[in-house]
A and B are shown apart, each in its own frame.
Chain A
Amino acid sequence: MTAIPEGLKFSKSHEWVSVNGETATIGISDHAQAELGDVTYLDLPEPGRMLTLNSQFGEVESVKAVSELYSPISGEVVETNSEILNSTETVNEDPYGKGWLIKIRISDPAELVTLMNAKDYEEFTAQGGH
């Protein structure tokens, strides 16, 4: 089990958010990657796309599952992690680090309040939240 770095916030659909100024980095949780198994394909948005809260921004696939990715906050996509598209195993190996998916410019920081902290998220998954 990968340790959760300080300061991450989580959504109920298992995305994490790390805020740095007005930019948020988004990825999927260690729990999510473990449930999916080996990630084989990622469909990620182009920079410039506007995302609203909880809107679908892409898909992550393993051999036998497809999971839709939902944006935990609103904002404009400023960067997509192009390095992982051809080395999708990074999402499994380092979900909170090199396996990040997209960066967005936050349009409404107030939305961050609704997300869970690491402790609450661990409880949420332990209770079978999925």
Chain B
Amino acid sequence: MTMLEPLIFELSREGRTGVNGPKCNLSDKEIGDLLGSANLRSNLPLPEVSELDVMRHFTHLSHKNYGIDLGFYPLGSCTMKYNPRINERTAALPGFASLHPLQPVETVQGALELIVQLQDILATICGMDATTIQPSAGAHGELLSMMMIKAYHADRGETGRNEVVIPDSAHGTNPASAARCGFKVRSIPSDSKGCTDLSALKSALGPKTAALMLTNPNTVGLFEVDIVEICKMVHEAGGLVYCDGANMNAMLGLTRPGDMGFDVMHFNLHKTFSTPHGGGGPGCGAVSVKSCLEPYLPTPVVRLDGENGGYILDENRPQSIGRIHSFYGAFLIAVRAYTYIRTLGPEGLRSVGENAVINANYIRSRLSEYYDVAFGNQPCMHEVVISASKQKQQHGVRALDISKRLMDYGIHPPTNYFPLIVPEALMIEPTETEGKQTIDHFIDVMIKIAKEAEEDPELLLTAPHITPVSRLDETMAVKNLDLRYEAIFKDTHS
């Protein structure tokens, strides 16, 4: 299993054929007659492998990859909960998966109804008025939110509002998304309790403020206790408040950003609503808004047409910021999220928030004796940030080394070195789907590693020991860039 797997291109043998695909007996000359011989390419450097080669190659690759199905995956801020298989089954229904987005609207009423139902449910869950599922990821949802906020201020003639206030604990996409919309980023520090520093916020707010971008619970896993006051302050300054919904799992059924005063938020359907992360994507960054931002939602807006009683794709939205996706967003991700929400119902959604919070606090409480907990071991929401500062100082072992050692125990490491305001951070998010047994095992391993750090730090510094590869030379990866398999490009005249 730890053998080097060749690249698919290295398995290629001239003349070997793959799957039993379509047959066409057009000659090269006939193709040239139709397309123009000057337009034809001379060489297509693709591999020639059998279907069995393909099956084995990618199965081997899968053996070198770790997913939630294999074990505990407490990657903070990513909500690696179980991905129910009924979601995959419903998303594979031909009546959903085999729809063309440009079909006559009469032929896709079921799909549009599902989108509208999901939009309404998401608005209810977060306490807002309207939703779009067009954004393809969380960062895309952030970008859309900033676009709408910019349009909102412009419509009110307040074009001088060109600053967005963002706490220093925020995810890097927040400042990057604001900057993409031409906003200036004003970073504010966190207070000694790990929450937004109200006096710093106050001095950052003013006539230039377009918005505050805030993650709640924040990236330290703490609930912003002054949230109502914070939203009030921003509104009084004439700005809007955006909620980064990466941590929505902590709040399901327990509280709603709309009730706190937020004007707009994004969901990560691939985190909170259990759609598979797929090794990085596809996701869906649905955005919900209060009525003040509804006119700016991207087109087309999917809605029920009161006059004709059918669902429509409404493009007649003069104040809309426009289109942000080739079509209507990640529809099949929406089908999965909808399936999940309908499985859970109101009681199930509440149990998500509750168990996620209990699991995280249980880890915090049991590990606090062995590791420093960021910002003084106070109750957290769905994730806990611990620090390996103690281990670094006393034994020269860093957060990264602890993470690599976890791999030897078959556990995926937590998020490392984030948030930036906690030195040697390890951000642990167990999610509600993990039971006490699994969590106890993780805690026991973490305690064992803390002891190993004292007794045999070398064991950690050289970890992992049992993975298909050991630590990789990332400097070499940058300095000797190797981003494609060069050998197939050598012979370009065949």
Contacts and interface: CB of A to CB of B under 8 A. Distances in A.
Q: Do chains A and B touch in the complex (CB under 8 A)?
A: yes
Interface of A: 37-38, 40-41, 62-64, 88
8 smallest beta-carbon distances between A and B, as pairs: A38-B475, A40-B478, A63-B474, A40-B479, A63-B475, A63-B478, A40-B475, A41-B478
Contacts of B477: 63
Interface in B431-480: 474-475, 477-479
Interface of B: 474-475, 477-479
Contacts of B479: 40, 88
> Main secondary structure on chain B at its contact with chain A?
helix
Contacts of A88: 479
Contacts of A38: 475
Nearest to B475: A38
Nearest to A62: B475
Contacts of B478: 40-41, 63
Nearest to A40: B478
Contacts of A62: 475
Nearest to A87: B479
Given A40-B478, A41-B478, A63-B475, 10 more contacts: A37-B475, A38-B475, A40-B475, A40-B479, A62-B475, A63-B474, A63-B477, A63-B478, A64-B474, A88-B479
A65 B347 CA distance: 45
A10 to B, nearest CB: 24
Contacts of A40: 475, 478-479
A37 B478 CA distance: 13
B483 to A, nearest CB: 15
13 contacts: A37-B475, A38-B475, A40-B475, A40-B478, A40-B479, A41-B478, A62-B475, A63-B474, A63-B475, A63-B477, A63-B478, A64-B474, A88-B479
Contacts of B475: 37-38, 40, 62-63
Contacts of A64: 474
A62 B479 CA distance: 10
A2 B478 CA distance: 25
Contacts of B474: 63-64
A62 B478 CA distance: 9
A77 to B, nearest CB: 25
A64 B477 CA distance: 12
- Among the interface residues A37, A38, A41, A62, which one has the most CB atoms of the partner chain B within 10 A? A38
Contacts of A63: 474-475, 477-478
Nearest to A61: B478
A43 B477 CA distance: 19
Nearest to A88: B479
Nearest to B417: A64
